[in-house]
Amino acid sequence: MAWTKYQLFLAGLMLTTGSINTLSAKWADLFSAKGCHGDPEHSFSHPFVQAVGMFLGEFSCLAVFYILLFHDRRSPEPRMNPGQRFNPLLFFPPAMCDMTATSIMYVALNMTSASSFQMLRGAVIIFTGLLSVAFLGRRLAPSQWIGIFITILGLVVVGLADFVSGHKDDSHKLSDVITGDLLIIMAQIIVSVQMVLEEKFVYKHDVHPLRAVGTEGLFGFVVLSLLLIPMYFIHTGNFSDNPRQVLEDALDAFCQIGHKPLILLALLGNTVSIAFFNFAGISVTKEISATTRMVLDSLRTLVIWVVSLALGWEQFHGLQVLGFLVLLTGTALYNGLHRPVLARIPWCAARMNLEEDSSDAERERLLNNGRVQASEDT
């Protein structure tokens, strides 16, 4: 079925704003400026402040939702579906997952390149697939398992590319690159938990995408803003790049912005883009499919990589190309993008129909087991 103009708009919006989000965050990391109290010029390394800005962008979606709802209700024929009432605390767990994962990834982005950062985020397929089996009762097809194993291979290749390039790159130490890569993969475990929670909630409850993003942003913004206070006093030694060597020095971040206002432009780009990206991502899941959302997320990796090369932020590495292609293959297999091609082959088409019938039978069996268990409990 052909996409509508609105679906094409959502896909384009997600791809564009998603690319701008990572690029603007990396741009902010590349700045150097003086700090407070006459501190010498140093790099802008404030991942938690950047994360607060990201949640501010998500929180703004809640204001947009109520503005649109207000104007719609004043019209003679209201068309906007505000969704059913729900307990906002249901969004608290995924918001905390988002807050934790985002903070970890912004720390990692300071240590590695923007392209590797985006490529390694492909690990979310592995953990999302496993958690979907465990908590959503799904049964993965053989092609999805193959896609997961190919994705693991792609991660190894990208990691090897970073290891090789780390000896030639003066902008990042090899130890920092390896640590950053591991942090990104660790964050994907948390992201996969968030995605499973969101999917289970969105499909069960009729919640407007803007309201969903805004509610998560509200929780993340409030909690992380409060956490900046104890972070100001937690000393981390050489792990932190700010002059006071604390977990996060928000005052130093504002002083650096005052000395170099261009940093604010990068932060605003991150804040605004994440607002539209999250809205577009949830809307794509509801209007098209979660598969399309994953594919678009993979395509923005290519955009970020090409732009980073064009701006001279990183050097070209052939091994990284191989890693990206392997990751793309794993993503395509996991999301079933090979099916339209195989459907033209009679034997493969019959095999695919058999697998679909088997999956339907498995879902029916699980459903019946649930009914039997419910009757036994009664």
Per-residue pLDDT tens, the chain, 378 aa: give them: 567 888 888 888 989 998 999 999 999 999 999 988 777 888 999 999 999 999 999 899 888 889 888 888 888 877 777 777 778 888 899 899 999 999 999 999 888 888 888 888 888 888 988 888 888 778 888 888 898 999 999 989 888 887 777 655 555 677 788 888 899 999 999 999 988 887 776 557 777 778 888 888 999 999 999 999 999 999 987 777 788 889 999 999 999 999 999 999 999 999 999 888 877 877 787 777 766 776 787 788 888 988 988 988 888 888 888 988 998 888 888 877 666 656 566 655 555 554 554 444 444 443 344 333 333 343
pLDDT at residue number 248: 92
Q: In degrees, to the nearest 5, what angle opens at C-alpha 324 toward C-alphas 43 and 154?
A: 105
Secondary structure class of 3 (helix, strand, coil) = coil
End-to-end CA distance of the chain: 44
pLDDT at residue number 348: 54
* Residue pair 20/279 in contact by the 8 Å Cβ criterion: no
C-alpha 148/C-alpha 127 separation (Å) is 9
Its pTM stands at: 0.79
Tell which residue, 326, 37, 18, has the closest CA to residue 158: 326
The count of other CB atoms within 10 Å of the CB of residue 284 is 25
* Residue pair 67/82 in contact by the 8 Å Cβ criterion: no
Listing DSSP states for 32-44 in one string gives EE--STTPPPEE-
C-alpha 271/C-alpha 268 separation (Å) is 5
Q: To which H or E segment does residue 322 belong?
A: helix 318-334
C-alpha 189/C-alpha 183 separation (Å) is 10
- Which are the contacts of 70, defined by CB distance < 8 A and separation ≥ 6? none
C-alpha 334/C-alpha 291 separation (Å) is 9
C-alpha 211/C-alpha 201 separation (Å) is 13
Q: In degrees, to the nearest 5, what angle opens at C-alpha 104 toward C-alphas 98 and 109?
A: 115
pLDDT at residue number 166: 60
